Chains A and B, each alone.
Chain A
């Protein structure tokens, strides 16, 4: 039995070449033609003149898995144009984030997947997918003259390369930084100004907090795993860091100070349910008129200013996050990337789709909706400049230009989810005790030990730590 499974796995790792002419399970008309094309497909081919690739790919059907959400809305909106231009039919399947991961992993593991291209979260999935050989290296594809890879120069390469080879494995679709959203009307009524640093932040909180009327000053993520990334600007803002010399530094003085501050902020000035609040609860709290401020990912903005979602849509102000003793430290993440499955039989068509997904039209569509593109050219596009409010552009530019040591927002390591879990637990304790918990130090020590162990298990401890800090 074991051998059989190992064989199945081996087949999975080798890609689906064993399956040979299998058109897969989709049984779609395009499959027969594409099987032949796949043989002759060389990455370089796609770099030929546009019309030749057009004719050879017309009639191809590709299967793309993506996640429900704003980026897919834009993909869907422009998909017809793409299909018309290239003659490629795209079967776009959308899933929730966890379901997408479950589906991708299961299909890739079995080795008989008919997926051609997929979206993923590089920070979360790149290591697992690339270490198993599921991701097609994009090296030669990027030379496609049809594609202006230089436009993406602001993208943090570390997040999108395949660790073992250093080749790019995913096209970065949009970035995330953190912004502070606030209620202009409340600030005006209470006569407070936008806080620029931590001290001012606490002062504003003190003035706006009104629990008796079920109104609170601030909302930030308090859910154990979700909070890590939202906590990171405070951690780095206090001069801390997740790692030092390849060892977890979570229990050092600066970090404990940051944890106390975050604990006090949320423990004293956030609504009751904050410990289960992740991203979507931020929307809920802000739109329900429960909080005066909210610090979270930039993507939140679109929902906050949607008249269908919020009664306060016209009262939303945007500002850069407050500066800590060690500066303004918002992370810069590649939120979603798109990749080609290494076992795809339609790689050329999949690449066409990749170019489309990372293309200017979609970038110009998503950027004003809180999904800022890495494409430098699009920021000067009229579609972007005309659609976005001034304070938003100012705040974003302030942060994207700020020099930060907090590149990822998350601890960079293989077992990132487990590490978030361990660290999050200590922060949750700090929130529960309003930042005054006596055991905070020991809890953070404990978390650091856990993280160190995880690093050791993965062979990433100390001098073996593979990432730049």
Chain B
């Protein structure tokens, strides 16, 4: 009897939990599903209420159009180069900085780095264009990577500082007493424990760069055009080409999912295997 009751309660709990997960997942998925199916419809069908969610005649015109007129392969490569490079460089510079900021309580340094995130984008853009055009760097990957690092680095430093502060200091102290250098200790002890934080930051930084529009609009050109800049191709003041725009949105999302997963896997693998949780 008691066992049965326990089983029922457990089942009930599971159902409740599944319900909770559904409540989280549906509001996310439904709009995206709507976008997905709308990208296979013409506008007359999109405006139709109630919407036909299943069993409609899909049309491929939008996809054919965007692949014919736009060089999506190139844009995806461009976006990937900029996003991966700016994330990697930001991690390289930012994570060690975050570590010492956390350990040595360098509040001022932290604020200084965060300042870049506080500046409104337009007030960064005009000066950057002035300077980088004088340096003949407009439409190069370097300028895009640098400008995206300005946004990524504060994010990484800021989030990682929080993480490092939460790691009990005793862990390192023991190692240092054993004669381990601080940098070894950082590499062998701190980084492996911080994998969740690192994965998070790099994902956020990667996506931030991937979706960055305004910097890419001003600083990129024909050769380095990234996806978000090409996305606004379908949106003009006068008319929005919904079908094409939505199809382009899908085309932008799919590689993001794949690349984010690859990136996460890579970072997790890059960490020392078998890290013990603190």
Contacts and interface: CB of A to CB of B under 8 A. Distances in A.
B44 A303 contact: no
A398 interface: no
Given A26-B139, A310-B44, A103 B237 contact: no
A64 to B, nearest CB: 11
Nearest to A308: B42
Contacts of A69: 236-239
A103 B42 contact: no
Contact of A280 (B69, B137, B239, B243): B239
Nearest to A278: B237
A21 to B, nearest CB: 12
A99 B217 contact: yes
B236 A97 contact: yes
A329 interface: no
A112 interface: yes
B239 A102 contact: no
Interface in B189-224: 217-218, 221-223
B133 interface: yes
Most buried by A among B217, B237, B243: B237
Interface of A: 5, 8, 22, 25-27, 63, 67-70, 76, 91, 93-99, 102-103, 106-107, 109-110, 112-113, 279-280, 283-284, 287-288, 299, 303, 307-311, 313
B233 A94 contact: yes
Contacts of B240: 280
Contact of A68 (B44, B236, B243): B236
B177 to A, nearest CB: 51
- For chain B, which range describes its interface: under 10, 10 to 19, 20 to 34, or 35 or more residues? 20 to 34
A309 B42 contact: yes
Given A93-B222, A102-B217, A279 B238 contact: yes
B132 to A, nearest CB: 9
B277 interface: no
B52 to A, nearest CB: 13
25 contacts: A25-B137, A25-B221, A26-B139, A26-B221, A68-B235, A69-B236, A70-B239, A93-B221, A93-B222, A95-B232, A95-B233, A96-B236, A97-B238, A102-B217, A102-B218, A103-B217, A106-B125, A106-B126, A106-B129, A109-B130, A112-B133, A112-B138, A308-B44, A310-B44, A313-B44
Contacts of B233: 68, 94-96
B130 to A, nearest CB: 5
Interface string B243-266: 100000000000000000000000
A107 B129 contact: yes
Contacts of A110: 129-130, 133-134
A103 B217 CA distance: 7
B43 interface: yes
Given A8-B134, A94-B233, A280 B43 contact: no
Given A103-B218, A280-B240, A309 B44 contact: yes
B47 interface: yes
B150 to A, nearest CB: 17
